[in-house]
């Protein structure tokens, strides 16, 4: 009996220390990931979590304080603030994920070509330098100002200024690796360029790229919120944290929570993404981790 438990304990605790060790070594990834998972699930099951339709207006119940019926109170149109905030996460996450994916894929393609073909490199890099000189939010504003507001336009407008950052990263990696002897060897035995890119350059570029994609995701969530807050982002009929805050602004002195609650959700989401990014960076590049 005693020996049986004594035998059982090490196995159980060993599997537990595996998880434990990971949590202890990378607490930021675990905390950030857990928060993000929570927000992600809440956004997906928003129709079940929300207490009412986030866009149904009820002027007779406008500007109510938090109650058991309206957990966060109601806004200037009598819409339930809690339901709107829960739905608002959808836009943020969709924009964040789409921009991170699009910017990374486009930037990767341009960066690989630019790093490998000297002929186009100079031109491409000058264009990227020029794009980076335009502040991201201004570039997005300019694009959106000329289009009908929609989530797709926001995604395109936020992706564009992020692309040069990825291009620079990928290009710098390619430039370092292409001088390595094993690339020379691969070329010498007649490996084709696409194959070198796929087999040798891509695996090397992937870890820093994943970290960069996480930061782009955080930045995209912030920019979408800022644009919506300024009235140049997600159209008003779709609740997003930025436009919920914008609509609550006139009532701020009366009911600060109307502005601060969606702001809190936004801040926690971006914080979670950044924590995951920092943790991934430490995991994938321990040398850099000590320095940063």
- The residues binding another protein (CB under 8 A) are 126-127, 129-139, 141-147, 218, 222-223, 225-226, 229-232, 245, 252-253, 256, 259-260, 263-264, 266-267, 270-271, 273-275, 278, 290-292
CB of residue 205 to another protein, shortest distance in Å: 22
CB of residue 163 to another protein, shortest distance in Å: 13
Based on CB atoms, which residue is closest to another protein, 201 or 282? 282
Cα–Cα distance list, 3 to 53, 268, 292 (Å): 59, 48, 48
User: Is 60 in contact with 78 (CB distance < 8 Å)?
Assistant: yes
Based on CB atoms, which residue is closest to another protein, 80 or 278? 278
Sequence-ordered list of residues with C-beta below 8 angstroms from that of 226, at least 6 positions apart, any chain: 137, 233, 242
Q: Write the Ramachandran bin of 231: left for phi over 0, alpha for psi from -120 to 50, otherwise beta.
A: left
Q: How far is CA 11 from the centre of its chain?
A: 38
Strand partners, 74: 80
Angle at 72 between CA 70 and CA 74, to 5 degrees: 65
CB of residue 265 to another protein, shortest distance in Å: 10
CB of residue 262 to another protein, shortest distance in Å: 9
The Cα–Cα gap between 237 and 193 comes to 49
Based on CB atoms, which residue is closest to another protein, 28 or 83? 28
The Cα–Cα gap between 215 and 274 comes to 6
CB of residue 162 to another protein, shortest distance in Å: 12
Based on CB atoms, which residue is closest to another protein, 154 or 201? 154
Based on CB atoms, which residue is closest to another protein, 94 or 149? 149
Sequence-ordered list of residues with C-beta below 8 angstroms from that of 81, at least 6 positions apart, any chain: 70, 71, 72, 73, 74, 75, 244, 258, 261
CB of residue 18 to another protein, shortest distance in Å: 26
Based on CB atoms, which residue is closest to another protein, 28 or 196? 28
Tokens describing residue 173 = 């990696």
């Amino acid at each position: 009996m005693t020996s049986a438990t004594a035998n059982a304990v090490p196995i159980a605790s060993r599997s537990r220390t595996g998880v434990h060790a990971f949590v202890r070594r990378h607490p930021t990834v675990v905390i950030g990931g857990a928060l993000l998972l929570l927000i992600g699930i809440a956004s997906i099951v928003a129709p079940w979590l929300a207490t009412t339709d986030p866009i149904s207006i009820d002027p007779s119940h406008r500007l109510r304080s938090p109650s058991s019926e309206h957990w966060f109170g109601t806004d200037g149109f009598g819409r339930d603030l809690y339901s709107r905030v829960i739905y608002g996460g959808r836009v943020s996450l969709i924009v964040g994920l789409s921009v991170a994916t699009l910017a990374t894929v486009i930037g990767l393609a341009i960066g690989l070509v630019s790093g490998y073909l000297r002929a186009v490199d100079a031109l491409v890099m000058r264009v990227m330098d020029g794009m980076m000189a335009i502040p991201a939010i201004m570039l997005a504003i300019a694009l959106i100002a000329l289009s009908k507001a929609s989530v797709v336009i926001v995604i395109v407008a936020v992706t564009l200024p992020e692309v040069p950052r990825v291009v620079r990263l990928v290009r710098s990696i390619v430039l370092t690796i292409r001088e390595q002897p094993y690339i020379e060897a691969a070329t010498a035995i007649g490996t084709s360029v696409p194959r070198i890119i796929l087999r040798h350059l891509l695996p090397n570029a992937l870890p820093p790229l994943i970290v960069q994609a996480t930061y782009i995701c955080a930045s995209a969530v912030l920019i979408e919120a800022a644009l919506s807050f300024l009235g140049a982002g997600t159209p008003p009929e779709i609740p997003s944290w930025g436009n919920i805050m914008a609509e609550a602004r006139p009532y701020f002195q009366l009911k600060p929570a109307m502005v601060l609650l969606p702001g809190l959700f936004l801040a926690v989401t971006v914080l979670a993404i950044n924590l995951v990014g920092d943790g991934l960076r430490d995991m994938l590049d321990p040398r850099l981790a000590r320095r940063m």
